[in-house]
Structure 1
């Protein structure tokens, strides 16, 4: 069986930031797309709780749900193709006539529009900006790159 690749366009805010969520504290924050896409970063520190995790674990649940919906619909399409071919072969025999009813597809939701309720917080140690909720900025944040608390 071959590998199938799906592309999901994650919405950015007007400054080019991606909304993310920590697996541990479930708090949302935003990183600039250039910081996220930098292949030198194998993991990030959560700016709120400071716990590190792999870069691909910070997707918001809406993005993961969209990916699951796309994969489910692809799987159903492939099953329908395979069953249709089998039914044609069976129907050629002339003894039995069968048909396949297409399975109902999962309605893929459109992705959200990022909220503008975040404030920019400069991390001087690594020279990057991160967007967090105002309360999180006031209580202190960690650098997503090096984990330094400022």
Structure 2
């Protein structure tokens, strides 16, 4: 029996609609607009600093929330299965006792991180914006949407 479960994690955005992300390779933070990340025309997201493609750019806070939600869901499902076994096998050679419901793990919401040090960078190649560290604007960054090195300094 295969069951598909979907959970939603709300990740807040700043006033401009940018979401905080963290590169799994270099560990630096940057921001992108969520709708840009969901665009089917974009195959990969590149780190604007190191140019690497990552599997996930979620921050540690978002990952901890996902783990807590998953653990709570799994414990709830296991308790329900044991409860059904308990009702089914009340008398006989084999009995089950479900016991107390496990205490839920606290699901700490992802907080809005106001990072005023990141500035907007426009990428001509893809006609999109990102927020990056100001010092990297001079050094040049990779376009998060196509991976092209951008040395724009205006």
Q: CA deviation at 1:97?
A: 8.4
Other-structure match for 2:100: 101
Q: Deviations over 1:105-141 (max 9, x none)?
A: 1110011113232111111121111101222223321
Other-structure match for 1:37: 38
Q: CA deviation at 1:82?
A: 0.9
Structure 1 unpaired stretches of 5+: none
| Residue 140 of structure 1 pairs with residue 140 of structure 2 | yes
Structure 2 unpaired stretches of 5+: none
Cα 1:148–1:82 shift into 2, 3 Å: same
Q: CA deviation at 1:92?
A: 4.4
Q: CA deviation at 1:72?
A: 0.6
Cα 1:149–1:23 shift into 2, 3 Å: same
Cα 1:105–1:122 shift into 2, 3 Å: same
Q: Deviations over 1:46-83 (max 9, x none)?
A: 101111234xx111121121111111100000011111
| Residue 6 of structure 1 pairs with residue 12 of structure 2 | no
Higher helix share: 1
Q: TM-score, normalised by structure 1?
A: 0.88
Cα root mean square deviation, aligned: 2.1
**Distance in structure 2 (CA, Å) of the matches to 1:18 and 1:12:** 5
